């Protein structure tokens, strides 16, 4: 590395980038060089393109348990391509080890990722993420930082076996827990199941949020081809990591910045894929947030229109029967994208520097398999997610129709209302609770500000006395989210949320609520005058906090239709639309 500042005609690169402010650029570079040489680097190494690698492993994050091996493989790929790999830690988030919910910390991770990309010298960055909020956080942060970036997914866990039945996190977690609650199985069996649900490191093995975001990252063109599906512990996953490292060097040299990949067409492809895989409802919020960082406004009614012409093709739990490793053996995303080809923008650029269509052509021929259906024989005739409108949700709500009970999708019932999560916990299993299977369970104040962080508490449990009587599903409504691994007739993301005074705040026990998925309607059958008088009688006081991150969160978090991002992280100009102009 020369001690001279980089050529004035070119933007600084490699170790010359982002010099620390000592008021003397030459001294700053001299000092940086001295310190990194202290770590054993030679001048030869320091002249290479620098590739940052986010290290998101943590003892608290089994979904990223293969991070050390992935980093080693990425470094190998970087060095084989002539770059200098520099791994650095960022926040790591795991679903089961984040209170009150990992979503509360997603924006913090995005800020951490963005600022460390900005602060440290790197020509491109490899984002290693997997567990639910990590990939969205990384794409949000990298989109704001604006340098060339490439996503590496940690990969899914293997499935286990319980008494001969294949099981995996976490659709089977919920199914077995519901059986335990209903006293269908005992303590010994639920303990035995617990041993088998997570058979290795890696992300949940069904089409939960992690798998959904992995597929979306590939559909966006942000991974190397085939980057979504290899399980965490396989050689395929390690080879993807090595390829990712090599490709990171190429995008650094070509200055293929993230905004050239994350275009309106790429987001539209991602929306198609979300619908066709029966993906997690959480991805709607995450895609909105990622796109928002680049100045795009997501058109939710358009997502619904796309859903009417985009059937579910992927036969994975919770909408279908298989697991992620089966999807990988069936050819992964190449097989899915080939089936979806007529509905995709094939000219969207990917991180390989080639288009999605060119990569599909290079992926080789289709072969017989049973996990991805053709458009002519889908597992569900419409997209997995439907967008609902109505006086209960003026800003919209969503339902994962592919995981709902057909008998409940046109339903009117009496509201049984829980004011918040604590109220739910204290009364849901009370034998005296006035509830029948035809009622509609309503949970308030689990939205972005309400809980806070919009926890995955929208999957309200069936009241114990009904569960024991064999009731498996009821219509449930909240302003929260639900895990992508869950199933049921569950209306989510009701916007505006109760904690900011949305109509949901004023629902009372006994009100009638109508759900019509066919009409895309969620209606509270109470007059506007009555709702206004309830609002005047009990005005909503928005939650606040004295200090710290919670204060920042409550003051700046946006609603679900804005991606639950912080308002100050989004660009002022968000005039571009997704889908874009035809």
List residues binding ligand FES (CB under 6 A).
63, 94-96, 131-132, 169, 203-204, 208, 210
CA nearest 463: which of 445, 440, 486?
440
Min dist. Cβ of residue 26 to ligand FES (A):
46
Rg (CA), the chain: 24
Shortest distance (Å) from residue 580 CB to ligand FES = 31
DSSP 49: P
Determine the angle formed by the axes of helices 300-308 and 264-276, rounding to 10 degrees.
50
**Minimum distance, C-beta of residue 385 to ligand FES, in the bound complex (Å):** 19
Residues 6+ apart with CB under 8 A from 285: 454, 481, 493, 560, 563, 564
Query: Nearer to ligand FES by C-beta: 144 or 211?
Result: 211
φ and ψ at residue 24, rounded to 5 degrees: -150, 100
Task: Give the number of other CB atoms < 10 A from CB of residue 525.
Answer: 12
Q: Which is nearer to ligand FES, 130 or 225 (CB)?
A: 130
* Rounded Cα distance, 495 and 483, in Å: 18
Q: Which is nearer to ligand FES, 94 or 317 (CB)?
A: 94
Q: 15: which residues sit within 8 A by CB, 6+ positions away?
A: 1, 29, 32, 33, 36, 46, 50, 121
CA neighbor of 550 nearest in space, from 453, 423, 447, 485: 453
Tell me the closest approach of the beta carbon of residue 134 to ligand FES, in angstroms. 8
Q: Least Å distance between CB 330 and ligand FES? A: 21
Question: Which of residues 278 and 307 has its CB atom nearest to ligand FES in the complex?
Answer: 278
Q: For residue 151, what are the contacts with CB-CB under 8 A and spacing of at least 6? A: 126, 127, 129, 135, 138, 139, 217, 222, 223, 227
Which of helix, strand or coil describes residue 582? coil
Give the separation between CA 294 and CA 570, rounded to whole angstroms.
Answer: 8
**Tokens standing for residue 402:** 């592919």
Give one DSSP letter per residue of 445-492, joined into a string. S-STTTTTS--S--SPPPPHHHHHTT----EEEESS---TT--SSEEE
DSSP H helical segments within 363-471, as ranges?
A: 421-427, 464-468
Q: Give dist(CA 104, CA 106) in Å, integer.
A: 6
Tell the smallest beta-carbon distance from residue 324 to ligand FES (Å). 10
What is the closest distance, in whole angstroms, from the C-beta atom of residue 225 to ligand FES in the complex?
A: 22
171 or 288: CB nearest ligand FES: 171
Smallest distance from ligand FES to CB 455, Å: 14
Nearer to ligand FES by Cβ, of 132 and 268: the residue is 132
Query: What φ, ψ does residue 412 adopt, rounded to 5°?
Result: -125, 135
Nearest distance, CB of residue 130 and ligand FES, angstroms:
6
Closer Cβ to ligand FES, 274 or 435, answer by number: 274
Residue 170 vs 220, nearer CB to ligand FES: 170
Of 92, 104, 98, which Cα lies nearest the Cα of 135? 92
Cβ 132 to ligand FES shortest distance, Å:
5
The nearer residue to ligand FES, 102 or 310, going by C-beta atoms, is 102
Which tokens hold the place of 185? 């199985």
CB nearer to ligand FES: pick between 1 and 170:
170
């Amino acid at each position: 590395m020369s001690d001279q500042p980089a050529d004035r005609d070119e933007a600084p690169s490699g170790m010359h980038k982002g010099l620390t402010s000592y008021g003397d650029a030459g001294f700053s570079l001299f000092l940086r060089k001295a310190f990194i040489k202290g770590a054993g680097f030679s001048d030869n190494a320091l002249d290479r393109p620098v590739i940052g690698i986010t290290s998101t492993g943590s003892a608290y994050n089994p979904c990223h348990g293969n991070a050390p091996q992935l980093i080693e493989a990425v470094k190998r790929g970087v060095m084989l391509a002539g770059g200098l790999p520099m791994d650095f830690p960022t926040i790591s988030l795991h679903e089961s080890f984040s209170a009150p919910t990992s979503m509360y910390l997603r924006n913090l991770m995005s800020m951490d990722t963005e600022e460390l990309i900005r602060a440290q010298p790197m020509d491109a960055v490899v984002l290693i993420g997997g567990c639910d909020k990590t990939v969205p956080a990384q794409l949000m942060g990298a989109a704001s930082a604006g340098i060339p970036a490439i996503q590496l997914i940690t990969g899914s866990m293997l499935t286990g076996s319980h008494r001969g039945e294949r099981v995996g996190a976490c659709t089977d977690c919920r199914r077995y827990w519901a059986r335990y609650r209903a006293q269908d199985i005992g303590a010994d069996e639920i303990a035995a199941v617990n041993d088998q649900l997570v058979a290795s490191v890696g992300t949940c093995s069904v089409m939960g949020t992690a798998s959904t975001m992995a597929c979306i990252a590939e559909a966006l063109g942000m991974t190397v081809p085939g980057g979504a599906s290899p399980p965490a512990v396989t050689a395929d996953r390690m080879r993807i990591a090595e390829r990712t490292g090599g490709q990171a060097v190429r995008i650094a040299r070509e200055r293929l910045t993230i905004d050239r990949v994350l275009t309106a067409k790429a987001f539209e492809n991602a929306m198609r894929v979300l619908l066709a895989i029966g993906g997690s409802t959480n991805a709607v919020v995450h895609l909105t947030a990622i796109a928002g960082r680049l100045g795009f406004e997501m058109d939710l009614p358009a997502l619904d229109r796309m859903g009417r012409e985009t059937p579910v093709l992927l036969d994975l739990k919770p909408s279908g029967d298989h697991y992620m490793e089966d999807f990988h053996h069936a050819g992964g995303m190449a097989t899915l994208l080939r089936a979806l080809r007529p509905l995709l923008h094939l000219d969207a650029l990917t991180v390989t520097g080639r288009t999605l269509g060119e990569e599909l052509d290079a992926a080789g021929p289709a072969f017989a398999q049973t996990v991805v259906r053709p458009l002519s024989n889908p597992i569900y005739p419409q997209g997995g997610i439907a967008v609902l409108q109505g006086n209960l949700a003026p800003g919209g709500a969503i339902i994962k129709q592919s995981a709902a009970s057909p008998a409940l999708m046109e339903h009117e019932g009496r509201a049984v209302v829980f004011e918040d999560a604590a109220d739910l916990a204290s009364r849901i299993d009370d034998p005296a609770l006035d509830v029948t299977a035809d009622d509609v369970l309503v949970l308030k104040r689990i939205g972005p500000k309400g809980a806070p962080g919009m926890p995955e508490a929208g999957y309200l449990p069936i009241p114990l006395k009904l569960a024991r009587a064999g009731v498996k599903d009821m219509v449930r409504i909240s302003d929260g989210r639900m895990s992508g691994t869950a199933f049921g007739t569950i209306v989510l993301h009701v916007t505006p949320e109760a904690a900011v005074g949305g109509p949901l705040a004023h629902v009372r026990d006994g009100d009638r609520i109508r759900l019509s998925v066919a009409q895309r309607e969620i209606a509270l059958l109470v007059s506007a005058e009555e709702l206004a008088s309830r609002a005047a009688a009990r005005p909503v006081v928005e939650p606040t906090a004295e200090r710290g991150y919670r204060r920042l969160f409550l003051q700046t978090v946006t609603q679900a239709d804005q991606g639950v991002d912080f308002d100050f992280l989004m660009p002022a100009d968000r005039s571009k639309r997704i889908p874009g102009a035809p």
